[in-house]
Amino acid sequence: MMPIITLLLILLGFGMVPSMAQQHRVWVDTDLSSGRPVGDMDDALALLMLLRDTSVHIEGISVVHGVRHARRVTAKLLRWYAPARDTPIHRGADTQRELGQRTEAVNAMIRALEKGPMTVLALGPATNVATVLTLRPDLVPQMQKVGFCGGRWANMVFAPDGGKVRFSDYNFEHDSVAARLLLQSGVPLLLAGYDCSDGFFLHRALYRPLKGSSHARDRWMYRNLSRWEWVWQHVFGVKDGFIPFDCSTVGALLHPDEFCIRADRAATVTEGPNDARSIVKTDRKMFLTVGAQGGIHRVDHCYHTHGIFRERLLNALLRDLSTDP
C-alpha cells in the first residue's frame, strides 16, 4: 500500500516540477567567457541559476561575441547541470560587425518567437537580439520582456568599492548601435546592469564548500570563481570579492520582488566625456542612460539587489554538492 505521506504529497502536488505549459519560456543570449585565464564568471553563474530554476523552460541559448569559446563552455555546463535536457546552443554574431546579418542564432530565435511569446535575457552585447528585431519587427509583441545587462542611471560612474577602478558599460559599449536599436524597437525592456548589482559581492568564504566537492563541475567552479576574484582584488583593487552582474539581470526579470526597480522611466543614448577607456578609447563616447533629460523611450530600471537574492544564488550554486551524479 502506498504510504499515506507519499499519497498526500502527490495529491497536493508538493515537490512536483511544473509542466512545460506552466514554466516561463526563456531565451538566453550570452557572451560566456568563464574558463579563460581572466574570464568573468557572471554568465556561468547566471546560466546555473536558470538551469536549477524549475519555473523556467530554456527554449534555447545563443552565444554572442567570442562565440567559439562561449559555445564550448556552455555545452560543458549543460552536460554537468542539465544532462537530461536537450537545450540547443546556437552560434551568433562574433563581433558587432555582424549586426543585421542572419546567423544560426538569429534564425533559431526567430523560430522560437514564431512559436509563442517568451522572455529574452540579453547577458552580452545586444547584437543577436537587435538583429532579430531589425529583420523581424513584427515579432516585437512576442518578446514579453528583454532583460539587458547594461545601461546606467544618469551621471552614475561605474566604480566598485569606492572608485579605485572605473568600469566601462561592457555590453553596451561593445555594440552601442545594437543597444540603441533595442531601445528604439519598442520591446518591453528592463535595464539591469551596474546600478542593479553595485554592492552585491560574492567572496571566497561563500563558495568555499565547492572546493572539497567530489564532483568535477564544483571544483571547476571553485577554481574559476577564485581566479576571477583574484583579478578583482589584484587588478581592480577591490577587496570585497566580485560582482556577478549577469545574475542580477536574471534575478530582476524572474524574481523582481528581490530587487528595487523603477518602472516606466525615460531612457536615451547620449554622447558625453569618456569616463572609462577600457573599451572605447576616444575622449568622448556614447552612454545608455535612464532618468536623463530628453529621454523619449520608456524602460524599467533595476537599481538595487536585496540580500535575499544572494541566498537564492548560493542555494543554486551549493545545492547537493556531494550527492549529484
- Condensed to tens digits (0 to 9), the pLDDT of residues 215-267 reads 999 999 999 999 999 999 999 989 999 999 999 999 999 999 999 999 999 99
Least confident of 25-29, 74-78, 197-201: 197-201
- The answer to the question of residue 10 being in a domain is no
Chain segment 287-303, per-residue pLDDT in tens: 999 998 778 899 999 99
* pLDDT interval class at 18 (50, 70, 90): low
> Is residue 11 in some structural domain?
no
Q: How many domains does the chain have?
A: 1
Residue 229 maps to a domain = yes
CB 182 within 8 A of CB 140: no
Closest CA to 118 of 250, 252, 25: 25
Mean pLDDT (the chain, rounded)? 91
pLDDT of residue 103: 98
Is the predicted pLDDT of residue 317 greater than 90, yes or no? yes
Which pLDDT score is estimated for 320?
Answer: 81
Residue 9 belongs to some domain of the structure = no
Dihedral of the alpha carbons of 5, 9, 10, 12, in degrees to the nearest 10: 130
Q: Is 6 domain-assigned?
A: no
Asked whether the predicted pLDDT for residue 11 surpasses 90, the reply is: no
Q: Could you tell me if residue 253 is inside a domain? A: yes
Residue 106 lies in a domain: yes
Confidence class of residue 63 from pLDDT cuts 50, 70 and 90? very high
Burial of 266 (0-12, 13-18, 19+ CB in 10 A): middle
Please indicate whether residue 150 or residue 15 has the higher confidence score (pLDDT).
150
Q: Is the model's pLDDT at 13 over the cut of 80?
A: no
CA angle 97, 102, 105 (to 5 degrees): 100
Residues 6+ apart with CB under 8 A from 262: 290, 291, 300, 301, 302, 303
Mean pLDDT, to the nearest integer, of 48-52?
Answer: 96
What is the domain range of residue 45? Answer: 17-318
Please state, in angstroms and rounded to a whole number, the distance separating the CA atoms of residues 267 and 277. Answer: 23
Asked, for residue 324, whether it belongs to a domain, the answer is: no
pLDDT of residue 35: 87
**Other Cβ atoms closer than 10 A to 103:** 21
pTM for this prediction:
0.91
Q: Which of 258, 189, 51, 28 is nearest to 123 (CA)?
A: 28
Kindly indicate the confidence band of residue 137, based on its pLDDT and cuts at 50, 70 and 90: very high
pLDDT digits (tens, 9 = 90+) for 154-186: 988 888 877 678 999 999 999 999 999 999 999
In the chain, pLDDT over 90 holds for what percent of residues? 81
- Alpha-helical regions (H) of the chain: 4-12, 42-51, 67-81, 104-115, 127-135, 160-163, 170-174, 176-184, 194-197, 204-207, 216-234, 245-254, 307-318
Alpha-carbon distance of 298 to 188, in angstroms, equals: 8
CATH number of the domain that residue 262 is part of: 3.90.245.10
Task: Collect all residues with Cβ–Cβ distance below 8 Å to 36 and sequence separation of at least 6.
Answer: 69
Residue 20 in this model has a pLDDT that exceeds 60? no
